[in-house]
Chain A
């Protein structure tokens, strides 16, 4: 494969003489670097949770608090919304407005369902005497999972704004670039959720 690329490159000017890459590529790469720095921030929260997972200060433990059925439904919602977000990207690159709206709406509803379940879980935990100030374990839990929830909330608002932009301005290049960045953001959130349900809800409840 490298050989094929090498022969192709001989017929073009070297990359150093071609000028800057198109804006679309520069912006997507910049957003990619931002996402990685966001994931580095999450790694600090994960590290805090992993260190404090058993520091319950005599309070309720994860095994007593977490409801795996609710977590499984949340996981399904987020995974499916990642898929419909991918479908939205395809509709966007085919410049199909109706499909973009439909898949954006499905993505939004699934993300909102995820947030509803998470909010419900938090309210339930606080009602059962497990607020963030109860123990170091609960502080770490609410910070990590709440931070992911905040990202999802921001993503839903962003998606709404982008759909308004598609409606008003159509698929002009700037709107397309924003939709591309949104898709990257949404897929990255799903990757973080994979680690949340693994580390917090599945490994965290083991003795």
Chain B
């Protein structure tokens, strides 16, 4: 293990004994990931189409399921862990996610605000027409 002290390349399964290695074969890691991803995907499609759940909560539930599935892909397919040799990969990922959240949440926030300010109530419209 000459490069045990180096960072681990993203996407590589850990071979160092220090890492909290799951007691699984490499194929087993991918298979568990696939099974979890199938469960989350099926749940997403079910949640979107059922009438059993409170309709206003469904979008939030779908976002939570997508975040969970993203986590499954990161852990079981891309082998991102919290081990010290993974710090660089995790930090890059965290920065990327930070920008993604800024862009999406910022856009939605600003555009919703703009839409509300542009919206004229019928009363306001008639007042404007009079002047």
Chain A, residues 64-82, CB within 8 Å of chain B (1/0): the string is 0000100010011001101
Q: In the complex, what residues of B have CB within 8 A of residue A72's CB?
A: 45
Contact between A29 and B10 (Cβ–Cβ < 8 Å)? yes
Cα A75 to Cα B44 with chains together (Å) = 12
The 8 Å CB contact of A194, one of B38, B66, B108, is B66
Residue B120 at the A interface, CB < 8 A? no
- Chain A contact residues, majority secondary structure: helix
A21-B6, A202-B48 are known contacts. Are A40 and B103 too (CB-CB below 8 A)? yes
Cα A8 to Cα B85 with chains together (Å) = 13
Chain B minimum-CB-distance residue to A15 = B5
Chain B, residues 5-29, CB within 8 Å of chain A (1/0): the string is 1111111100000101000001100
Cα A188 to Cα B96 with chains together (Å) = 13
Contact between B77 and A187 (Cβ–Cβ < 8 Å)? yes
- In the complex, chain A residues 14-72 whose Cβ is within 8 Å of any chain B Cβ: 15, 18, 21-22, 24-25, 27-29, 31-33, 36-37, 39-40, 43-44, 46-48, 50-51, 68, 72
Residue A123 at the B interface, CB < 8 A? no
Residue A147 at the B interface, CB < 8 A? no
Which residues of chain B have a CB within 8 Å of any CB of chain A? 3-12, 18, 20, 26-27, 30-31, 33-34, 37-38, 41, 44-45, 47-49, 55, 58-59, 62-63, 65-66, 69-70, 73-74, 77-78, 83-84, 88-89, 92-93, 95-96, 99-100, 103-104, 106-108, 111
Known: A18-B5, A47-B108. 7 other contacts (CB 8 A): A5-B84, A36-B96, A40-B103, A83-B34, A191-B74, A194-B73, A203-B48
